[in-house]
Amino acid sequence: MKTITRCTLSACAAFLFVLGCDNDKPAPTAASAAPSAAPAPAPTPTPEAPKPEPKAESGRPEKIDLTLTPERRTAIEAKYPSEKGFLVEKDLEATLQKNKALKDEKTALAAFDKLAKGKWILFSGNAANLTASNFDMGVVYTPQMPGDSIGMSKQWFPVHMSEVEGYKQDALKTGDMVVVLVKYDGASKASPGQELVATGVWK
């Protein structure tokens, strides 16, 4: 009987010892108990809207195609019927450049006058020497020599243009492209005329 009592007491003591050891263990912290939160995904960058093409302050196109197409000739002659059948300055240049006798401005200008005086001529290219009421455009009378990559070998003379509808000095700068239909008076002078980009005919 005593043996059974001792065994029972020993078992109880062992159980209390184990229970006491469990109580001594630290309680799990909140950080270890809760699962760690996943990092927030980085925001997707918003694509920038495409920037509009810059426009010239004058309202003129940044680039001007100088090709005289049949459609453009038709539009010009419909707008200005009295100028129908106009000549093209680039064609006259080509005629001058084939003439090997043209060695200086005086002979070249005389040859140009024979071809163009009193006629309506379409000039297209760079405007130069801008003033409030007139400007110049060049006529090249000698071809560009082989090996000349920048055109220094070409010889030319200016044509002084005045009374040109649509021309505004503050809308252009020297070297800008213009398209001008003008009556050539001879002796390197031309008037009146129209700047066809400004008048809306050259599209």
Q: Is residue 45 part of a domain?
A: no
Q: Is residue 127 part of a domain?
A: yes
Q: Is residue 43 part of a domain?
A: no
Alpha carbon separation from 42 to 16, 39, 70, 178 (Å, rounded): 54, 9, 58, 53
d(CA 95, CA 135): 24
Q: Residues 135-147: pLDDT tens digits?
A: 999 999 999 999 9
The structural domain count of the chain equals: 1
Q: Is residue 161 part of a domain?
A: yes
Q: Is residue 201 part of a domain?
A: no
Q: Is residue 151 part of a domain?
A: yes
Q: Is residue 179 part of a domain?
A: yes
With a cut of 50, which residues of the chain have pLDDT below it? 1-25, 27-28, 30-34, 52-53, 55
Alpha carbon separation from 157 to 38, 100, 189, 202 (Å, rounded): 78, 16, 11, 25
Q: Is residue 91 part of a domain?
A: yes
Output the pLDDT for position 59.
78
The parent domain of residue 156 ranges over 70-195
